[in-house]
Amino acid sequence: MGKRIDRVKKHFADNKGAYIAGGVGILVGAATAVVLKDRATMISNKETLNFKWQSPTTNILQLILPALGDPGNVVQCVETGTIYASQGQAARELGSTASTVSKHLAGLVPDVKGSHLKVIGKAGEALAG
């Protein structure tokens, strides 16, 4: 038992620098987490974007991105309930053009390849659903 204790003591003595560095790292990390915790709560809900991932269920991925110009319309298919992050995404997934989707939303075209779309909000803002 005495040899084991001596080996442990020698190990700590040989690796003292690593243990001190690790302890300092943990303390700095904890202090940083406390400081940054308050900053995370200051982010406005208007800065979140909602995206639909290709899945049989609706998964929402929220990213914090500033809008560069008009953030664009988030549209929803009336028949399926599928939400598209943009008119362009809706056009691509429905096999149509962004121009046709825009005309449909403006009331100039009755449907987009049989689908009816509605604007449910702007990207980066709370959605009406």
Domain residue ranges in the chain: 2-40, 45-122
Please give the pLDDT value at position 110. Answer: 94
The pLDDT score that the predictor gives to residue 38 is: 57
Residue 97 has pLDDT above 60, yes or no: yes
**Is the pLDDT assigned to residue 25 strictly greater than 50?**
yes
Three-state DSSP state, 126 = coil
Higher pLDDT, residue 97 or 47? 97
The tokens of 68 are what? Answer: 């560069």
Rounded to two decimals, the pTM is 0.46
Q: Cα(92)–Cα(69) distance, rounded to whole angstroms?
A: 22
Cα 71 from chain centroid (whole Å): 16
Amino acid at 25: G
The pLDDT > 70 percentage for the chain reads 68
